[in-house]
Structure 1
Amino acid sequence: MKTTTITRRGLLGAASAAWATTIFGKPAQAAAEFDFKLGVNTPETHPLTIRLTEAAKAIGAQSSGRLNVTVFANSQLGGDPEMLSQLRAGGIELLAAPSLTLSTLVPLSGLPSVGFAFGSYDQVWAAMDGGVGDVVREAIGKTGLVSMKKIWDNGFRQITSSSSRQLTSVEDLKGFKIRVPVTALLTSLFSGLGALPSSISYSELYSALQTHIIEGQENPLAQVSTGKLYEVQKYCALSNHCWSGYWIVGNRRALSALPPDLLEIINSHFDAAAIKERADLLEMERSLQAELTGKGMTFNKPDPVQFRAALVKAGFYAQWQKTYGAEAWAALEKYTGRLT
């Protein structure tokens, strides 16, 4: 399986106005040769945004201001589907794309997020820095986008709910109105568990919970904290139902315009920052349960065996094995063990 990274056959560029979180290391009036916009949905306080900001500054500094990367945090450029459309059209040059959102364009991006597949981070990083990462990057490359080599962490996903319902078993999910990203994989997963999934952009999630359009949502604890979802959710079931990440992807025509030294700079700084962000998020998540408990959330840990059994019965694994294909599924099971 071919491992890809950004090369001179890279991405495209231009456009979009909004307040910027960070810029290069040179004064704004010193015009850069190349001016890239990078969109991300996470708030300024999230480890992902912080490390993207640091990488952008380092790229500007090492390139002596020739390459300016401006990070637009907190969905300033639109929701994830909108930013992905902008990236493909060349309105923005770079995007920190949630792997599940990216799966709407690159179905194999959802492969590592198959329900209850990974049991630990050791399995996740072995797969994503190995054969599963190779499968996904090759698929991304076929869409006209290019990804950095290292995927960033978004964490294992947990289920939160309002004060009207605590989730302790599969039965508790029957008829449960839950927000999921705009992706078929999680819609399929929660439908298989008897819930009523609804695809809503992350930027609209808080208000949807606040107005009770939905009863709950699923996200890593870092998103629950930085998005202040604890203000509108009472319970959190530590389900670890799937892992998800962020790919730094770019428009191929934009990066093809960069000379080799700038391509090396942008690759090396974003990949180095990805490793730091993984460690940041792990450290953050270790303290988040206590922090969120102090803010009024109640935690429980359901038995994953019952959920996996329900998904087998619903045909979830058989469906996605067929969707992803035998070769990709075998690559996943090399790290997870047999899933069906």
Structure 2
Amino acid sequence: MNIQRRTVLRTAAAASTLALPLRHAFAQKKPYSYKYANNLPVTHPMNIRAKEMADAIRAETQGQVDIQIFPNNQLGSDTDMLSQLRSGGVEFFTLSGLILATLVPAASISGVGFAFPDYASVWKAMDGELGAHIRQQIAKANILAMDRIWDNGFRQITSSSKPIAAPADLKGFKVRVPVSPLWTSMFKALEAAPTSINFAEVYSALQTKIVDGQENPLAIISTAKLYEVQKYCSMSNHMWDGFWFLANKRAWDRLPPELQVIVARHVNAAAIKERADVAELNTGLQKELATKGMQINQPDPAAFRDQLRKAGFYAEWKAKYGDEAWALLERSVGKLA
């Protein structure tokens, strides 16, 4: 009995010794389950690439970082989700700089009217000094912005009455705009009549001629079926819009440095892929909208830029954003004010 008892004790002790490093290894691999919220449909390139991103992060971290995606405003409006991000209710959130400007005023500088002539100038600015400056301002709100901004596309003007080919075509033109000082200021400077209307009411407002037109990226014009109540689509490219991939700072700091590196790498890689997807999507949408009866025209942005300059639009917003931010913008797009 004594021999058997000693054998059992030795075996138990050995098993306990072997289990210690295993328990220690699992203790080191604390799982992090984070929520990522956005306002786009699950079929949008952003969500398609985000799913790939989350899967890749889960695989490379061996399940330590599990990002659950909540698309299409499932967790509330942009304002609701921004509040949740700040409080830690969600850990990740993508938001337009034009809306983030309610918290970080500098974030809307990327939407200055007719500033960017093309995508090359957009990425030069947003992947360069201007983007770095905006991220620094976002950090002051205790939010982390990833290095690469995602694309929402250039915004275009649609109309039920005429193509918008020159600034004169906007004189007195009743155009729906989001509730934003930057939009209202720009269209007033172009002598249009901007009207703020909730997007849910845009289709009926166009149908009943409360407004003559509206402005949005092509994907929105298509998915909202605005071609049913608008005849013309002018490829004005009057504003560019992108989505910052934002993280709750406390949640981000909880991740060990090696996991932060993996997550950031996959998020930024997904952003680059999504940009290419959106560019391809927009090319196809022009053809699609044309087949659905919309007349597409390509106005010259130079005349619109001149009108904004003469109206003092650029000088006004340069004063609001400050000389430093404005100089960074002009390094990528040329002289505006």
| Alignment-derived partner of residue 320 in structure 1 | 317
| Alignment-derived partner of residue 135 in structure 2 | 137
Aligned mate of 2:276, from 259, 275, 279: 279
Q: Match for 2:183: what amino acid?
A: L
Aligned residue for 1:238, secondary structure, equals: strand
Aligned mate of 2:233, from 233, 236, 259: 236
Q: 1:235, 1:75 → 2: CA distance?
A: 30
> Any residues of structure 2 matched to 1:31-42 within 5 Å, and which?
33-42=31-40
Tell me, yes or no, if structure 1 residue 266 matches structure 2 residue 263: yes
Say which structure, 1 or 2, has more relative contact order (CA 8 Å, 6+ apart).
1
Q: Match for 1:298: what amino acid?
A: Q
Q: Which runs of 5+ in 1 are unaligned?
A: 1-31
Aligned mate of 1:113, from 102, 111, 114: 111
Q: Match for 1:239: what amino acid?
A: S
Of 304-313 and 119-128, deviating more is 304-313
Shift of 1:222: 2.5
Contact 2:161–2:232 under 8 Å retained in 1: no
Aligned mate of 1:76, from 63, 74, 77: 74
Shift of 1:180: 2.8
Compare CA radii of gyration and give the structure with the larger one.
2
Q: Which runs of 5+ in 2 are unaligned?
A: 1-29
Aligned residue for 1:240, secondary structure, equals: strand
Structure 1 residues 166 and 321: CA distance shift in structure 2, 3 A = same
Q: 1:210, 1:44 → 2: CA distance?
A: 28
Structure 1 residues 179 and 87: CA distance shift in structure 2, 3 A = farther
- TM value normalised by structure 1: 0.83
> Any residues of structure 2 matched to 1:193-208 within 5 Å, and which?
193-200=190-197, 202=199, 205-206=202-203
Structure 1 residues 92 and 284: CA distance shift in structure 2, 3 A = same
Q: Can you list the C-alpha shifts for 1:287-326, whole angstroms capped at 9, x where unaligned?
A: 2211111122111222323212221122100001101111
Aligned residue for 2:330, secondary structure, equals: helix
Of 145-154 and 295-304, deviating more is 295-304
Of 45-54 and 329-338, deviating more is 45-54
Shift of 1:151: 0.7
Q: 2:90, 2:73 → 1: CA distance?
A: 13
Aligned mate of 1:300, from 285, 297, 300: 297
* Percent of residue pairs bearing the same amino acid type: 54
Shift of 1:199: 4.0
Structure 1 residues 319 and 258: CA distance shift in structure 2, 3 A = same
Q: 2:141, 2:317 → 1: CA distance?
A: 21
Q: 1:146, 1:182 → 2: CA distance?
A: 26
- TM value normalised by structure 2: 0.84
Aligned residue for 2:243, secondary structure, equals: strand
Aligned mate of 1:125, from 123, 126, 129: 123
| Alignment-derived partner of residue 13 in structure 1 | none
| Alignment-derived partner of residue 288 in structure 1 | 285
| Alignment-derived partner of residue 17 in structure 2 | none
Contact 1:45–1:226 under 8 Å retained in 2: no
Contact 1:160–1:233 under 8 Å retained in 2: yes
Structure 1 residues 37 and 319: CA distance shift in structure 2, 3 A = same
Aligned mate of 1:247, from 244, 247, 253: 244
Tell me, yes or no, if structure 1 residue 184 matches structure 2 residue 181: yes
